[in-house]
Structure 1
Amino acid sequence: MHKIFAVSIKLEFDEKLGQIFTSNQCPVAEIVRPEGYYQDNSTVAKIIGDESFRNQSAAKLSGAVQVNTEVFDSDPSVEEDPEYWAAKFAPFHDYLKATFPRLFNEVLKVEKVNQWGLLLTWEGSDSSLEPIVLMAHQDVVPTQKATLDDWTYPPYSGHYDGERLWGRGSADCKNLLIGLLESSELLVDSGFKPQRTIIFAFGFDEEVGGERGARTISKRILERYGPNSIYAVVDEGGQSLVEQNDVYLALPGTSEKGALDVHVSVKTPGGHSSVPQGDHTSIGLLALYIHDLERSQFKGVFTPLNPTFHEYQCIAVHSPSLPADVKQAILDAEYNSKANKKAIDYLTNESLLSRFLISTSTAVDIINGGTKSNALPEYVEAVVNHRIAIESSVNETVEHDLRIAFKIARENDLGVKLNSKELKPVTEKGFFAIDYSDPLEPAPQTPVGDAKWKLLAGIIRHVYEEVSFPDNAKSPFKGIPVIVAPGIATGNTDTRYFWDLTKHIYRYRPGLNPTVETHAHGVDERILFDSHLQIIAFYYQFLQVVDNDRS
């Protein structure tokens, strides 16, 4: 066993970053507990260890999973086809109301935004305190019919085997939604009456961008409370608990990569395939573009702008097994260009995940073109998805893709258009078109190191180290503290619509198993049920502490 020492740090303030960790130090958060925890911890003990409670909780989550709430990219708007949406979400709303009758009938103000978004308000007694917003989403990704036989249990069975609960939405993200309501139900039963208003924001189309759900809910909250009026927003995301280089890390997401879908098309004259118009058909030209695009991958960037920088600084400070040269390179990376390059090389080669945490990703996901084997294709298109690095921007990403289009266009005497604007004159041979809409810039940075961060980090340590393993012999930590560090995920969440409400947006869902082990979005999606119980325990404790916070 090795020792981990808390390191004192000087917090710096930067207008763009807010408060951040200094470059070469990583603090161990002090544990934070609700008042009276040592006098009475019977409720959290019941959540974690009582078999009857476990089974009741499993039944609640199982029932939620059994209600199919799939959404698709092609779904109509709510106004266009209200019956379509009612068929999906009316049964789920009915289930929630029947499962949590006291909350829905007595405790919460229930509002339906854009028909199926749920805005639930637990009014606090002190209106001078900023409300807290807790998020989850009701919808799930579709299950492909071709994969149904590959599932161990049917995707909407909600099967519980005593250890895991299986089914679509069990890990993303009905577990969080049900866990929030379960913790609230327990707080009500305990006599808890909040001083700080608690708002639950449950969208219904997060998996297809959140335009109908979270966007309209955030607008309602903004109209009601105003900009920068919210204590904090907490949603899914981040990495709950991972062991990396012999360090246990909890990584609340304090930013998100940007996102951009680029539609690349080539238009050329048609004709009979027996007389091609040159060396390349439009399909060949698009193939050249894709070839060059995939060979022109974005390089990694390792700076304090990215929460991943601080995550790896923490690993370097606390890991007993990270190679010494890598450790030193990471610790020196902010000020030493040679060390920075070595750190980038390490992250780029360590895993695909670490590579794309520090770089913009490129994925050609859709391609269409051609109608007949003896007809030259006049129009072909591809869709390229980028997840934009924290240090980059939409403009930088578009310029990167445009450079490749210009190169192929020059070599083949073609024009170039960007969002229908002609940048290089169209020729008789045709043109490249680059089109995009609704881009998402990288998210603003949540301050790290301030009082709210310390509270969140302290509760995370409390739940993992003091609550989750009442039998210390079964604890994986063996007396070693969990290190809470800022992180990011490679995807995006509904928090994109809540930036104007607060600087304090945390993307974090407690639990034991990393997301990859839950098969979220895939065949055999499931959750280790201990992780679900930790969600309930976390919010039961967290909401009590937040209610008393006056920072």
Structure 2
Amino acid sequence: MKPPIRFLGDCNQTRAKLELSKWFDPAASICRQYSYKFPRSYKEDNSTVLRILFDDNFRNQSAKKLSGAVKIPTDVYDDDPKVDDDPKYWQAKFDPFHKYLNETFPLVFNNSKHFQVEIVNSHGIVITWPGTNSTLKPVLLTAHQDVVPIQLSTLPKWTYPPYEGIYDGDRLWGRGSSDCKNLLIGLLESLEQLHKAKFTPKRTIILGFGFDEEIGGERGAQSIADNLLSTYGKDSFYAVIDEGGQSIAFENDVLLALPGTGEKGSTDIIIGLNTPGGHSSVPPSHTSIGIVSQLVEALENDFFQPIYTPNNPTFHEYQCIATYSPSMSSHTKWSLLNAGDNFRANQEAKNWLFNKSLLSRYLISSSQAVDIIHGGVKSNALPEYVEIVVNHRIAVESSVNEIYDHDLFHVQQIAEKFDLGLVSENKTLREETPNGKLVIYKASQLEPAPITPTVGPVWELFSGNIRHVYEQLAFSDPNSEYHGMQVIVAPGIATGNTDTKYYWNLTKNIFRYRPGLFTTVESHAHGVDENIKFDSHLQIIAFYYEYLQLINEEENLD
């Protein structure tokens, strides 16, 4: 029988209610919004933050800095060597970028009196601005230096060459402009502006810039996290803020800011099939490619069912939408608002989300994608080995083992159907036969991330500052598309992963959020014509200029 992977939709009604009751807190308010939070400097003299957002000279100088960063290729590849195995390879890739940062931000990189710059594992960058009060937990702000490669065949499709950093007055174009050199440069610009304003932090501020996030972060962010953990200890940070989340989303006529407070897990599962070779003029009924094709079909026909509980930030996001939407149907609102303690409402809510779009589907379910297949070497020779790589992103209520059991079940079915041996994670489940054997194992595994609390002073200050920067500053212009609209701050989750997986031990307060006007998907991150609407970049600088002052003014936050 198939292993019992429990999904809410597959349980009987009584069991489903019990599952819901584990997560539902009837005393919790639905989508509570907090008042504006801003530093004292905003009332005393708000000229700097207004200059950041609206001054043409500042805008042009800022665009020049980001453009220069985009012009330096820092692309990384899945098969890149470890740093120690080929140091010259990594030096050629990242030394020019480090040189550029040193020349562009001398107030940060050449000012040891205020900033301590440390290089971790040859190319990771850690910048520390020591606070005056050692009893306050430090804050860690992160970004990554690397970018995804350009597929050469796509070059004719780019509006502007990907490494020229063209700024057209409205958008800045090029690889890394959105993911995520904009965040890295924006953080440095915020520090620069704070230093110029003679700001002295009480709480230590740390910037951490990895250099291989796009291929897993094992060289960069992992080394930085290990370094910080050994220096400061477990649960020693006030908060960690990285890229991710949805800066501004407009859904069902609700304007949302969605900091990522959770993250799906992931695993790559490798499935290989060995079979006897031979001449293709006398083939068996099914070659190894044919057998594996049947396996792929079985996997894709058994998609993961949706799971919709309050343990998923998406649950709270859509309760916010239901609470504030003027256009959502009353029945859909009912199902979303009552999904926590009503079985029928939960069923209808998750079915609505599952069928609404691919994005909403995979916010509440695990995914599977057969991304790589290898097999065969010659047209007249039977393939002796075929291998597939199945990438999974794991729902927050599930686990690596549940996903693996799902795939293993189908591999077992194929092994029995074609009388094949089966080895699972180096354990023999069926002895090899003359027909061959199947092998399945996990090449990588990451459990879903711990959920960041969305109650208490840390969340209240963070969300209140987001509202202030958008509603009272960025959208204060009457010509703004969103002028006069309330920004609803709600917890969110992304379908991908970030470097934050290495920082879990530093704090429970991890936010995946980058201010801006649209998501990385909308800005073509990883694709042709990656760009950033430049107002978004200025909003990064303005937000951190205020936020870093705020967490230094409030001392009862830790």
TM over 0.5: yes
Task: Provide the rounded CA distance (Å) in 2 between the counterparts of 1:105 and 1:371.
Answer: 56
Who is 1:288 aligned against?
294
Who is 1:404 aligned against?
410
For the 8 Å contact 1:24–1:332, the answer to whether it is kept is: no
For the 8 Å contact 1:24–1:313, the answer to whether it is kept is: no
For the 8 Å contact 1:201–1:217, the answer to whether it is kept is: yes
Who is 1:175 aligned against?
182
Select 1:193's aligned residue among 200, 203, 207. Answer: 200
Deviations 1:283-342 (A, max 9, x none): 011000000000000011110110000000111111111111111001111111111111
For the 8 Å contact 1:259–1:439, the answer to whether it is kept is: yes
For the 8 Å contact 1:245–1:322, the answer to whether it is kept is: yes
Do structure 1's residue 138 and structure 2's residue 145 form an aligned pair? yes
Task: Provide the rounded CA distance (Å) in 1 between the counterparts of 2:168 and 2:386.
Answer: 49
Specify the code of the residue in structure 1 equivalent to 2:551: V
**Segment of structure 1 superposing worse, 251-260 or 416-425:** 416-425
Residue pairs, 1:311-330, within 5 angstroms: 311-330=317-336
Task: Tell me the CA shift for residue 84 of structure 1.
Answer: 0.5
| SS across alignment from 2:293 | helix
Task: Tell me the CA shift for residue 21 of structure 1.
Answer: 9.3
Residue pairs, 1:431-510, within 5 angstroms: 431-471=437-477, 473-510=478-515
For the 8 Å contact 2:336–2:345, the answer to whether it is kept is: yes
Task: Provide the rounded CA distance (Å) in 1 between the counterparts of 2:46 and 2:442.
Answer: 53
Deviations 1:101-139 (A, max 9, x none): 011111310110000000110111111110000000000
Task: Tell me the CA shift for residue 52 of structure 1.
Answer: 0.3
Task: Tell me the CA shift for residue 433 of structure 1.
Answer: 1.1
Residue pairs, 1:128-527, within 5 angstroms: 128-277=135-284, 279-471=285-477, 473-527=478-532
| SS across alignment from 2:44 | coil
Task: Tell me the CA shift for residue 517 of structure 1.
Answer: 1.9
For the 8 Å contact 1:23–1:331, the answer to whether it is kept is: no
| SS across alignment from 1:52 | helix
For the 8 Å contact 1:114–1:216, the answer to whether it is kept is: yes
For the 8 Å contact 2:174–2:529, the answer to whether it is kept is: yes
Structure 1 residues 328 and 24 mapped into 2: Cα distance closer, same or farther (>3 Å)? farther
Specify the code of the residue in structure 2 equivalent to 1:99: T
For the 8 Å contact 1:334–1:340, the answer to whether it is kept is: yes
For the 8 Å contact 1:316–1:330, the answer to whether it is kept is: yes
Deviations 1:363-410 (A, max 9, x none): 011111011122111100011100000000000000000000011111
Specify the code of the residue in structure 2 equivalent to 1:536: I
Who is 2:7 aligned against?
none
| SS across alignment from 1:308 | helix
Select 2:90's aligned residue among 81, 85, 91. Answer: 85
For the 8 Å contact 1:111–1:119, the answer to whether it is kept is: yes
Task: Provide the rounded CA distance (Å) in 2 between the counterparts of 1:539 and 1:337.
Answer: 42
For the 8 Å contact 1:110–1:119, the answer to whether it is kept is: yes
TM-score (norm 2): 0.94
Do structure 1's residue 58 and structure 2's residue 77 form an aligned pair? no
Task: Provide the rounded CA distance (Å) in 1 between the counterparts of 2:261 and 2:25.
Answer: 11
Task: Tell me the CA shift for residue 485 of structure 1.
Answer: 0.5
Specify the code of the residue in structure 2 equivalent to 1:373: S
**Segment of structure 1 superposing worse, 216-225 or 404-413:** 404-413
Specify the code of the residue in structure 2 equivalent to 1:505: I
Task: Provide the rounded CA distance (Å) in 2 between the counterparts of 1:22 and 1:49.
Answer: 43
Task: Provide the rounded CA distance (Å) in 1 between the counterparts of 2:121 and 2:109.
Answer: 19
For the 8 Å contact 1:210–1:494, the answer to whether it is kept is: yes
Specify the code of the residue in structure 2 equivalent to 1:29: Y
Structure 1 residues 20 and 519 mapped into 2: Cα distance closer, same or farther (>3 Å)? farther
| SS across alignment from 1:516 | coil
Who is 1:75 aligned against?
80
For the 8 Å contact 1:23–1:304, the answer to whether it is kept is: no
Identity of aligned residues (%): 58
| SS across alignment from 2:45 | coil
Task: Tell me the CA shift for residue 478 of structure 1.
Answer: 4.5
Deviations 1:58-81 (A, max 9, x none): 000000000110000011111111
For the 8 Å contact 2:246–2:260, the answer to whether it is kept is: yes
Deviations 1:417-438 (A, max 9, x none): 1122211222111111112133
Who is 1:35 aligned against?
40
| SS across alignment from 1:435 | strand
TM-score (norm 1): 0.95
Task: Provide the rounded CA distance (Å) in 1 between the counterparts of 2:400 and 2:89.
Answer: 34
**Segment of structure 1 superposing worse, 427-436 or 237-246:** 427-436
Task: Provide the rounded CA distance (Å) in 1 between the counterparts of 2:393 and 2:28.
Answer: 25
Task: Provide the rounded CA distance (Å) in 2 between the counterparts of 1:168 and 1:420.
Answer: 41
Structure 1 residues 500 and 461 mapped into 2: Cα distance closer, same or farther (>3 Å)? same
Structure 1 residues 20 and 258 mapped into 2: Cα distance closer, same or farther (>3 Å)? farther
Structure 1 residues 20 and 308 mapped into 2: Cα distance closer, same or farther (>3 Å)? farther
**Segment of structure 1 superposing worse, 462-471 or 221-230:** 462-471
For the 8 Å contact 1:23–1:310, the answer to whether it is kept is: no
Task: Provide the rounded CA distance (Å) in 1 between the counterparts of 2:274 and 2:179.
Answer: 40
**Segment of structure 1 superposing worse, 478-487 or 391-400:** 478-487
| SS across alignment from 1:71 | coil
Structure 2: 5+ residue runs without aligned partners?
1-19
Task: Provide the rounded CA distance (Å) in 2 between the counterparts of 1:520 and 1:477.
Answer: 24
Specify the code of the residue in structure 2 equivalent to 1:294: E
For the 8 Å contact 1:126–1:196, the answer to whether it is kept is: yes
| SS across alignment from 1:135 | strand
For the 8 Å contact 2:273–2:437, the answer to whether it is kept is: yes
Task: Provide the rounded CA distance (Å) in 2 between the counterparts of 1:342 and 1:197.
Answer: 47
